[in-house]
Amino acid sequence: MHFVDAKGILTGGKGHFGMNVYRGCTHGCIYCDSRSRCYQFTHAFEDIEVKQNAPELLEKALKSKRQKAMIGTGSMSDPYMHCEEELGLTRKCLEIICRYGFGAAVQTKSDRILRDIDLLEEINRKAKCVVQITLTTWDDRLCRIIEPNVCNTKRRIEVLEEMRKKGIPTIVWMTPILPFINDTEENISAILNACVQAGVKGIICFDMGVTLREGDREYFYAALDMHFPGVKELYMRTYGNAYEVPSPRRKELMDLFISFCAKHGILWKPDQCFDYMSSFPEKYRQMSFL
């Protein structure tokens, strides 16, 4: 990893903000979009760029805000990857968010988030906190291949259950669903049943498929060659260089997903999930003097 002084830390601004303390990721998901060339990495994706001044930048930014809002993190790199254990920058930023009474929407695949569960609970008590966990495959052996450097699905479900015990709402990202790999009814049903058991608020699934583009595609195809002989050729024949790579079973799997969520009162429209995560409770919105 290497350290930089960033110029700013918050992005967005229409009522909610985004934040990435790290750039790059060591979780090694074979389908990761963040490694796509369009993001213009000038260093290896696994050579993490650490924004060492993130807490100072965040505190300065929050001090100057006239209204509180939700702050999301984890969209481009996992805030709980390996280096967070020693650096603790995500935790420091959450402490600042908590102190200033803002809300947090944290997305991860890692059980390292449990280290901060008391802090997340406090943010939720003072304002709002939503924890988002990605689940793509019920099969542990497959999970080890497609998401090699992070805890498996069963452990992530335990994380969801721990959040529920603390009253912290959760959203699941059930994406991507890889054609010819995890696009089965058994897999989707098992994940959905676990989501009900864990009491999740919503599930984000844009479609049953994956997106591939330059940079991401080459890495994915190399992993297919290594672990799934013949599947790369099947992708090339079926999809060419398309960005959107839908499962041939998308319709039946989406029907299953939508009807299941509707039956169990789980938010399933992406817009509903995003509205829920980005909306800050009105009664806490005005800044108070600290």
Asked if 178 and 146 count as a contact pair (C-beta separation under 8 A), the reply is yes
Burial of 170 (0-12, 13-18, 19+ CB in 10 A): buried
CB of 219 to ligand SF4, least distance (A): 10
**Token digits for 49?**
């760029």
- The smaller minimum CB distance to ligand SF4, of residues 34 and 137, is found at 34
- The smaller minimum CB distance to ligand SF4, of residues 79 and 128, is found at 79
CB of 117 to ligand SF4, least distance (A): 19
Q: Binding residues for ligand SF4, per CB under 6 A?
A: 25, 27-29, 32, 34, 77-78, 109
Query: Quick one: which of 78, 18, 71 has its CA closest to 45?
Result: 78
- The smaller minimum CB distance to ligand SF4, of residues 35 and 249, is found at 35
CB of 177 to ligand SF4, least distance (A): 14
Question: What is the β-pairing status of strands 103-108 and 129-134?
Answer: parallel
Asked if 158 and 135 count as a contact pair (C-beta separation under 8 A), the reply is no
CB of 210 to ligand SF4, least distance (A): 11
- The smaller minimum CB distance to ligand SF4, of residues 33 and 162, is found at 33
Strand locations in the chain (E)? 2-4, 10-12, 16-19, 22-23, 49-51, 70-73, 103-108, 129-134, 170-173, 202-204, 209-211, 244-246
Asked if 57 and 21 count as a contact pair (C-beta separation under 8 A), the reply is no
CB of 75 to ligand SF4, least distance (A): 9
- The smaller minimum CB distance to ligand SF4, of residues 39 and 284, is found at 39
CB of 45 to ligand SF4, least distance (A): 8
- The smaller minimum CB distance to ligand SF4, of residues 59 and 207, is found at 207
Burial of 5 (0-12, 13-18, 19+ CB in 10 A): exposed
CB of 60 to ligand SF4, least distance (A): 27
- The smaller minimum CB distance to ligand SF4, of residues 78 and 139, is found at 78
Alpha-carbon separation of residue 91 from 124, 205, 250, 280 (angstroms): 15, 28, 38, 21
Give the DSSP H or E segment for 7. none
**Token digits for 155?**
């452990």
Give the DSSP H or E segment for 26. none
